Amino acid sequence: MFEPVDAPHRTRIKFCGMTRVEDALAAAAMGVDAIGLIFAARSKRRVSLEAAAGIREALPPFVASVALFMDNDADEVRATIDRVRPTLLQFHGDEDDAFCAAFGLPYLKAVAMGGDSNGNGGGEAPATLIARWPRAAAFLFDSHATGEAGGSGRTFDWARVPAEFARPFLVAGGLTPDNVFDAIRATGCWGVDVSSGIEGETPGVKDIAKMRRFVAEVARADRR
């Protein structure tokens, strides 16, 4: 009988807001676990179905593709799944568990941590979050306030991440190569999600040097 391997923790990495095939391939070559394709109407990094399908089809095996929505209607979500064939879905709006789980794919649920703790999901206990979205594969704690789109480049107080959370969770919002080490050490997160922090001047166009530094800082945090 096989014995479980006591392996060191490895923080998963998602690079979000991909708009170009070459950036997605560079991320894959660096060992990034997942790339995010945004279909939220208000996002500066929103991609067309054709562009997203091209990126998805170019990815090598074992690199996940995540389709991100924010209060899109069900027909939009289905059309995206049919054309792009993402690995996972990610929801940033007011979607409930029934909606998120209706498409036959695992989903991540974003929790707004911006603003004050009385006006958003960041003030809810872990058990409450899991009860509201019981079929979520993981949660993503992001720095936007309730009703806002993500990708703001702002951080939030990492001390507000619930302790001893019973599901995998990612931290997002304002992460950069300069602070991701501290974010991982502060939260013990399962994964990190970055978009603007690995870009230059243009939203959706990634900076290869920043991408490489980000991956290196995650690895340094894991070694510690």
| pLDDT for residue 165 | 86
Contact 174, 152 (CB under 8 A): yes
Within-domain flag for 194: yes
* Secondary structure class of 143 (helix, strand, coil): coil
- Cβ count within 10 A of residue 149: 18
Within-domain flag for 18: yes
Q: What is the CATH number of the domain that holds 46?
A: 3.20.20.70
Look up 16 and say whether it is catalytic.
yes
75's enclosing H/E stretch is helix 74-84
Within-domain flag for 7: no
| pLDDT for residue 160 | 87
Within-domain flag for 4: no
The pLDDT tens digits for 46-98 are 999 999 999 999 999 999 999 999 999 999 999 999 999 999 999 999 999 99
The catalytic position among 33, 142, 189, 193 is 142
Secondary-structure percent of the chain, ordered helix, strand, coil, rounded to 5: 35, 20, 45
| pLDDT for residue 169 | 95
| pLDDT for residue 129 | 92
| pLDDT for residue 6 | 59
97's enclosing H/E stretch is helix 97-100
d(CA 115, CA 17): 23
Look up 142 and say whether it is catalytic.
yes
The catalytic position among 16, 23, 33, 193 is 16
Within-domain flag for 99: yes
Within-domain flag for 195: yes
| Rounded average pLDDT per 10-residue block, the chain, 224 residues | 64 98 98 98 96 98 97 98 98 97 98 62 76 96 64 78 87 96 95 96 96 98 92
d(CA 52, CA 95): 22
Within-domain flag for 104: yes
d(CA 53, CA 39): 12
d(CA 153, CA 134): 29
63's enclosing H/E stretch is none
Q: What range defines the domain where residue 159 resides? A: 12-223
- The angle, 0 to 180 degrees and rounded to 10, between the axes of the packed helices 21-29 and 208-223 is 30
Strands 34-38 and 138-142: unpaired
Within-domain flag for 190: yes
The total of structural domains in the chain comes to: 1
